[in-house]
Amino acid sequence: MGTKTAAILFTACLLLSACTANKPESAATSNQQDSVASDSSNSAKDQSSVSSPKSSSKQAGSDDHNSAGKTNAQNDKTIESNEIGAATSATTNNKMYHLNKAYNVIPNQQGTEKKVVLLTFDDGPKEAAMINKIIDVLDKHKAKAIFFVNGYRVKEHPELLKLIHDRGQPIGNHSWDHIVLKNKSEPEVKKQIESVQKVVKDITGQAPVFFRPPHGAGGDVGRKVAKENGLLYMTWSVGSLDWTMKKNQPNKTEALLKNVTEQLHPGSNILMHELPWTAEALDSLLTRLEQKGYQFVDPQSIEVPASK
């Protein structure tokens, strides 16, 4: 009996010793897991604090209202600045088209609509009634067009330039005096182009980004000066021939429609002018183009060179 009791007690002591020895290791493992979870939780809080400066400022505000107010305002300005910068960058880089050597509008990426036309009007601004009539038609068809203006006309009627701008149409540079530039000296070409850049910016707040040389003749110097001013140099690929028409010529609308549609192709860069018969024919022309499956490219989606 005594021997059995001693054996039982000895066995129990061994078991108790083994259980006691295992407890610290298990507890240590548990503590390590808790520590990792705690660090992870604190890290998440820290990240939340860093990524949410407004929240951080509000917490600081309970201790020092004035200091927190300044910090919050600074953070808001930083965020606003970053957002504006990102938006500007996206706008700058979001160009869907470019012009090729033939001045046709070409998609930058596969899958972008190819069947588009670019609408342009030269030699303005002339008359408010005619400008409004043209833009009314453009608005009806949800279209934008580049209005290439001459500096001397802008100087005479700055209100007409402002009218075009205020109605949301892009303005292009068509030189100051509408003269052939290709044989002129570089200083004279610079004056013809840069004077228009200045007057348009003074009136509208924005300098043109498109340049069309009068008579389609800018020469190498015209191209150089245009590029230096961040202007995309272009002539045209489809001429409406509206400038050849006379006031008393019959059937001008049909003639204009025929001139354009016979040359029409995807990416057409269509040359028109601020002329009464062009304004009269415009609705029919745009309707005809739409019926043929064409869309009107927004000039703002076309790449332009960076100024030096």
For the annotated catalytic residues, the residue numbers are 122, 273
Token pair listed for 307 = 């100024």
The answer to whether the CB of 285 falls within 8 A of the CB of 256 is: yes
Kindly list the distances between the CA atom of residue 167 and the CA atoms of 96, 193, 221, 279, in Å, as whole numbers in the listed order. Answer: 23, 24, 33, 16
Long-range CB contacts (< 8 A, 24+ apart) of 79-85? 79/53
Task: State how far Cα 24 lies from the chain centre.
Answer: 66
**8 A C-beta contact, residue 262 and residue 285:** no
Backbone angles phi and psi of 107, in degrees to 5:
-65, 145
Beta bridge partners of 239: 271
Strands in the chain per DSSP E: 97-99, 105-107, 116-124, 145-149, 171-173, 210-211, 232-233, 238-239, 268-273, 295-296
- Report the distance separating Cα 58 and Cα 210, nearest Å: 48
Question: For residue 101, how far is the Cα from the chain centroid?
Answer: 23
From residue 52, give the alpha-carbon distance in Å to each of 44, 84, 169.
12, 18, 40
